[in-house]
Structure 1
Amino acid sequence: MTGRLVRTGLLLVFAAFFLVPLASLLNFSTKDVFTGERTGAAWRALVEDPTMSDAIRTSLTLAVLTVVGMVVLLVPTMVWVRLRVPRATRLVEFLCLLPLTIPALVIVVGVKNVYAWVDYFFGDTPLTLAFAYVVLVLPYAYRSIDASLSGIDARTLAEAARSLGAGWLTVITRVIVPNIWPGILSAAFVAIALVLGEYTFASLLNYQTLPVAIVLLGKSDAPTSMAAALGSIVLAFVLLLVLSLLDRRRHVPRSK
Structure 2
Amino acid sequence: MSRLGSTLLALALAGVLTLAAYADPVVVAAAVVLVQVLVAVSPPLTSASGEVIGSPRFVPVLVAGVVATVLTLEPALLEGADGTSPDVVDVTDTGMFAGVLPAVMVAVFVALVAQMLRKDGRGQLVSSVGYAVTLSVVAAFAAGWLGAAQSLGDAQAVAVGAAGLAAGLVVWMLPIDRWICFSLATAAGAAGGAAVAATVESSMTVYFGVVVGAGTALFAVLGQVVGRVMAGNSLQPAARWGFPGAMSVAFAAPVVYIGGQLVTVPLLR
Pairwise TM-score range, normalised by the shorter structure:
0.3 to 0.5
TM-score by length of 2: 0.33
Larger RCO, structure (CA 8 Å, separation 6 or more): 1
Please identify which structure carries the higher helix content.
1
Structure exhibiting the larger radius of gyration computed from Cα positions: 1
TM-score by length of 1: 0.34
